[in-house]
Amino acid sequence: MPEQSQTPLDILRKDIAEIQRDMDKVRTDVRLSSLRDEVEDLDMEISGLSKRVDDLRSRGYAFGKAMETRAADLAQRWSTVRPTVMVQISSQGRQLEAELPGVESKLAHLAGISSNVALARPYCNQVRAEVDGLQGRAESVINSIKGMYDTLQSELGTFKQGLQEVDWMLKQLAEATFQLLPTEAGVMAVKTVWAPTGKEEKDDPEGVLFLTDQRILFEQKEEIATKKVLFITTEKKKVQELKFEFPVVLVEEVRTSKLGTFKNEDHLDLMLGSGAPYRSVHVHIWQDAARWQGLINRAKARDFEQDRAVAVDQAAVEKVKNAPTVCPACHAAITQTVLRGQDTIVCEYCGTVIRL
């Protein structure tokens, strides 16, 4: 059955209903509600930055020595700009709200004459223009006031993201089946799939890839189906174990790639030198691969030592410097990498345990 065509009255009522819906948004925008909410959020987030940084320090995060200064700087800058923002919200809001009753009155009058198409149609167009004009002025004010702090808000977002990443890494380290060496500290961690064959397969182990200032480690951490009925998993078990670890100095090259159907998956190939458990390692990570490439290269170059907020025990540094280069039992050369924090090394030829 063909759809019945709309009458001029139907079209008018539809237009009026649309104006009334738009007016609901105008009422909110005119009161600058979004700006007031943003200011409250910024107050809470910025005032809590120093405490968040202190919490990360207490849990062992040793790097980002400028974090405390950055948190204090954001708080100081916000305390400077906030009073001006509040004055503008108050004064501009009053001016916009003063226009609201006039537009509300015209909209009410339009509803009252809506049954008369000839009279209401031109008036509807006029009210439409009034509502659009007030909406435009409200948006202009909002954008102008947001421009007073949008740079600071953007910097806060970047800083918060960094804090969240560190927080997640520390949680993973606290839950890990392994322990870091004394004076070793975590740099970054990321959700990862390790592809032992060099190409990701369905059942490859999932877990967390850790980068410290001395090592790269991968811990499998996932639930694996142990029983299925008609292809539906009915029983699972949690698997958590360290799959590999090696000194970061053994990384000879880091290659990045974008894989997947839409080329939106980040992958790393780590080419390893003598002494590593594998010749190469391929991982699919849930962060930007180029960023991890930079982090690994920085760790290999010991660049993070310059960004330490917690100083390294110099006794541990000297212990590594003075580590023997020859086994006292069989006199074979010790070629393995000695990491800061190790108490012993084992001769790979005769098995003698050598205390440092």
Domain with CATH 2.30.29.30 in the chain: 176-307
Percent of the chain with pLDDT over 90: 79
The whole-model pTM stands at 0.87
Q: Which two tokens stand for residue 108?
A: 């009410």
CATH of 176-307, one of 2.30.29.30, 3.30.360.10, 3.90.550.10, 3.60.130.10: 2.30.29.30
Q: Please give the C-alpha separations between residue 38 and each of 34, 41, 78, 153, in angstroms, as whole numbers.
A: 6, 5, 13, 10
The pLDDT of 335-343, averaged and rounded, is 85
pLDDT tens readout for residues 143-177: 999 999 999 999 999 999 999 999 999 999 999 99
pLDDT band at 2 (very low <50, low <70, confident <90, very high): very low
- Rounded Cα–Cα distance for residues 296 and 302 (Å): 10
Residue 32 zone, left/alpha/beta (φ > 0; ψ -120 to 50; rest): left
The pLDDT value given to residue 84: 97
pLDDT band at 4 (very low <50, low <70, confident <90, very high): low
pLDDT tens readout for residues 17-62: 999 999 999 999 999 999 999 999 999 999 999 999 999 999 999 9
Contact 131, 19 (CB under 8 A): yes
Kindly state the DSSP code that residue 236 receives in the 8-state scheme.
Answer: E
pLDDT tens readout for residues 253-292: 999 999 988 999 999 999 999 989 999 999 999 999 999 9
**DSSP calls for 249-305:** GGEEEEEEEEESTTS-EEEEEEEE-TTSSSSEEEEEESS-HHHHHHHHHHHHTTGGG
